[in-house]
Structure 1
Amino acid sequence: MHYPEPISKLIDAFTRLPGVGPKTAGRLAFHVLRMKEEDVLDFAKALVNVKRNLHYCSVCCNITDIDPCRICQDKSRDASVICVVQEPKDLVAMERTREFDGYYHVLHGAISPMEGIGPDQIHIAELLKRLGDEQVKEMILATNPNIEGEATAMYLSRLVKGFGLKVTRIAHGLPVGGDLEYADEVTLTKALEGRREI
């Protein structure tokens, strides 16, 4: 049996979202069908507003509704440090710690030859412009601890060798509350390499 066209189109639309398969898309579509009309309209407005009202910050490339973004406008932050992250959600995670008071740069991806993503497909050129500023003394590489994140961090560290910057990488290793017996070899190796005196 086939669904009526409106529900089929909605299911198809949901399957285009990452991580949403046909069964989940069907559940979501039928949930929308059961929602109050005003809730559906609010949901649709939220989708349209995200598309129409958000853009990249002209300074750090984070997503924002104002330009420059609120973080880049904050003059109380430390202008000598730029933390490089892969995605806007990584910036949000860093901000939640309340430990970093410098500025950010969002790459919107990582170098991944397998997926056809090279340095030109992420926001490296914008980063290099910012690093030419004499105020910047340190670049913290906070890319993900996977193959793509490591490759991107290595590429960036080599690229800025002549800038006279201190280049650091966030530590990797065991999560707080984790057990050694469940950690893989790479995580344990990184934890040993990142050890410090107490």
Structure 2
Amino acid sequence: MNNKEQILAFAKERGIEHFIHFTNVLNLPSILSQGLLPRSTLDYNLCDYIHNDDLRLDGLEESISVSITSPNYKMFYKLRCDNPSQNWVVLVLDATQILNLDCAFCYTNAAHSSVSSISLSERRKYSTFKTLFNERQDKPSRSEMGLCSYEPTDPQAEILVFNSIPISAIEFVFFNDGDIMEQYAPLLNNANIAFKREEGYYYPRHDFRFWQ
């Protein structure tokens, strides 16, 4: 098998079905029109959008960040605290479609020096993808933390996608505010994308106490 086939087979073996991307709800109309676009593409096309990360410390504005199975709750919580007047939406993406794109794998936050020091060519490899599920010497075992096979060890692990993500990859949209959901319901119905109020994605992952 080639590198891509190994990545897809490994994801299937571990039961990885969904990737997660959160964004300001005001971005939803353009996402439902164009799909998810990297910041560099949005800027080049002079698109009007609201970005999550002012600094984008990983320096890779040509990529879209997604997480595996659940949001990077540390970042998501900070963003919501820093912007209390804003509303957010969680997009649940089809993992197979994403993994068929150009992806780089990061065992923790992509801006962390231990990750940014690894070349992108190395981060694109199947062998690197597997490291997202390795035991961590500085933490209890995955079993002790109660992690499922499809959950990366570090809750801040992420995948950088160096393509646009098509609308067809969006399987569900989750809101934490019923009134906001009703405002966007017609758009989502027109796009034939399932949605509901689901606050679970707005809370920390179940093993948060080990990562405080």
**TM-score by structure 2 length?**
0.23
Q: Greater share of strand residues, 1 or 2?
A: 2
Q: Which has the higher contact order (CA 8 A, sep 6+)?
A: 2
